[in-house]
Amino acid sequence: MPIVSPVRSSGAAISGTRRYSLDNPPEGKYTVQAVGNGMQSEFKPVDVAAGKAATADVSLATAQHAALPNAWPRRNGDVGGNEIWTHQPNTPLVDGDAKDIGATKCMECHETERIVLLRMDREKWELTVARMRDYGDEVGLGQLTDEEASRVVDYLTKNYSGEPGSVNAWPPSAVYLVASTPDGMIWFSEQASDKTARFDPETRVFTEYPVPTAESDMRRVDTDPSNPNRIWWAGDTSDRIGYVEVLK
Ligand code: HEC
């Protein structure tokens, strides 16, 4: 496996020859290749021993190989960039009107991850969707009608928003402890906002469940061995315990 490292020129071109050096690389087996001016060299193996200099002579003898087709992290159809999640399946969008638009027309350039990791208010979703439509126009997609755009904004605002007092808001809700239930949901207490909350790792959606009493000071949470839909919490300074049960 060739190791790509920055090289530093240590001399001017002398009769077509140029020297590059790499200071203090870790010892080991390296493969050297030079690429430039549309030409490339053969691969040259070099053994670097501790404290010893090693050299490899290569020549730009053949035409540079054609660029590889788009591949991860610039997979075909993705916007370029560090889409480290592209090796994972698309996160499903939550159900709702215009989900189909989000899952098809909004996916022509990138993954759902761009959407589900964000929480924005209506104004910001409006701006984002407008920007996306501009991108679409630039590449001649012309994909969204005005009516579809406004439905998508409604859908995103409803399902991917940061409501005041939510886990995404400031001041923070002071997440205290997490527990998981057999259905794969992650639960946690929000000590400062009197809520327990559930995180669905599949859809990346947070749902909050307020408890009836203020200043509950909810800290530890635990699952109920006899009821997989119930989460118990302990209120430290409120001297209370309670549970949240999701009715199915
Ligand atoms: C024509 C290609 C294209 C289409 C179609 C497209 N996007 Fe994007 N999207 C991009 C590009 C490029 C970026 C990264 C640059 C940026 O954030 O402006 C991006 C980034 C995003 C982001 C992250 C923005 C941020 O502020 O972090 C979101 C959210 C998003 N898109 C949502 C959508 C939605 C919703 C739709 C459908 C209405 C959509 N995209 C359709 C190209 C597209």
Q: Domain limits at 210?
A: 175-245
Asked if 145 and 103 sit in the same domain, the reply is yes
CA–CA dist 76, 111 (Å, integer): 12
Asked if 97 and 130 sit in the same domain, the reply is yes
- How many domains does the structure of the chain reveal? 3
SS3 93: coil
Half-sphere exposure of 184 (CA within 13 A, CB side): 6
Specify the residue with its C-alpha closest to ligand 1, atom 31: 114
pLDDT of the residue at 169? 52
CA–CA dist 242, 218 (Å, integer): 9
Asked if 97 and 142 sit in the same domain, the reply is yes
Specify the residue with its C-alpha closest to ligand 1, atom 8: 132
Asked whether 60 lines ligand 1 (CB < 6 A), one says no
Domain presence at residue 197: yes
Asked whether 108 lines ligand 1 (CB < 6 A), one says yes
Distance 133 CA to ligand 1 centre (A): 9
pLDDT of the residue at 161? 82
Choose the final residue of a domain: 110, 130, 159.
159
H-run or E-run covering 155: helix 146-159
pLDDT of the residue at 66? 67
CA–CA dist 60, 35 (Å, integer): 7
Asked if 179 and 224 sit in the same domain, the reply is yes
Domain presence at residue 167: no
Asked whether 107 lines ligand 1 (CB < 6 A), one says no
Asked if 150 and 119 sit in the same domain, the reply is yes
Specify the residue with its C-alpha closest to ligand 1, atom 33: 106
SS3 140: coil
Q: What are phi and psi of 65, to 5 degrees?
A: -65, 150
Domain presence at residue 51: yes
Please classify residue 8 by burial: count the beta carbons closer than 10 Å to its beta carbon, then call 0-12 exposed, 13-18 middle and 19+ buried.
Answer: exposed
Q: Which of 110, 143, 156 to mutate to test the pocket of ligand 1 (most atoms within 8 A of CB)?
A: 110
CA–CA dist 69, 65 (Å, integer): 12
The closest alpha carbon to 221, from 196, 184, 238, 199, belongs to 196
Domain presence at residue 232: yes
What Rg do the C-alpha atoms of the chain give, in angstroms?
Answer: 28
Please classify residue 164 by burial: count the beta carbons closer than 10 Å to its beta carbon, then call 0-12 exposed, 13-18 middle and 19+ buried.
Answer: exposed
Q: Which of 132, 151, 157 to mutate to test the pocket of ligand 1 (most atoms within 8 A of CB)?
A: 132
Asked if 59 and 93 sit in the same domain, the reply is no
- Provide CB contacts within 8 A for 112, sequence distance 6+: 90, 91, 92, 93, 102, 103, 106
Distance 71 CA to ligand 1 centre (A): 19
Specify the residue with its C-alpha closest to ligand 1, atom 9: 132
Q: With the C-alpha atoms ordered 223, 229, 232, 233, is the resulting torsion angle positive or negative?
A: positive
pLDDT of the residue at 171? 57
Domain presence at residue 38: yes
CA–CA dist 78, 139 (Å, integer): 13
The model carries a pTM of: 0.52
Q: Are the beta carbons of 19 and 34 closer than 8 angstroms? A: no
Domain presence at residue 165: no
Asked if 154 and 181 sit in the same domain, the reply is no
Domain presence at residue 193: yes
CATH number at residue 105: 1.10.760.10
Asked if 155 and 181 sit in the same domain, the reply is no
Choose the final residue of a domain: 126, 159, 192.
159
Domain presence at residue 48: yes
pLDDT of the residue at 154? 95
Q: Are the beta carbons of 72 and 92 closer than 8 angstroms? A: no
Asked if 95 and 143 sit in the same domain, the reply is yes
Asked if 186 and 234 sit in the same domain, the reply is yes
Choose the final residue of a domain: 107, 128, 159.
159
CA–CA dist 165, 171 (Å, integer): 8
Instruction: From the CA of 143, give the closest atom in ligand 1.
Output: 5
Asked if 139 and 115 sit in the same domain, the reply is yes
Q: Which of 109, 122, 204 to mutate to test the pocket of ligand 1 (most atoms within 8 A of CB)?
A: 109
Per run of 10 residues, the mean pLDDT along the chain (length 248 residues) is 42 62 84 83 90 90 66 39 52 89 82 78 91 82 87 92 54 80 92 88 87 88 92 92 90
Q: Which of 105, 124, 135, 145 to mutate to test the pocket of ligand 1 (most atoms within 8 A of CB)?
A: 135
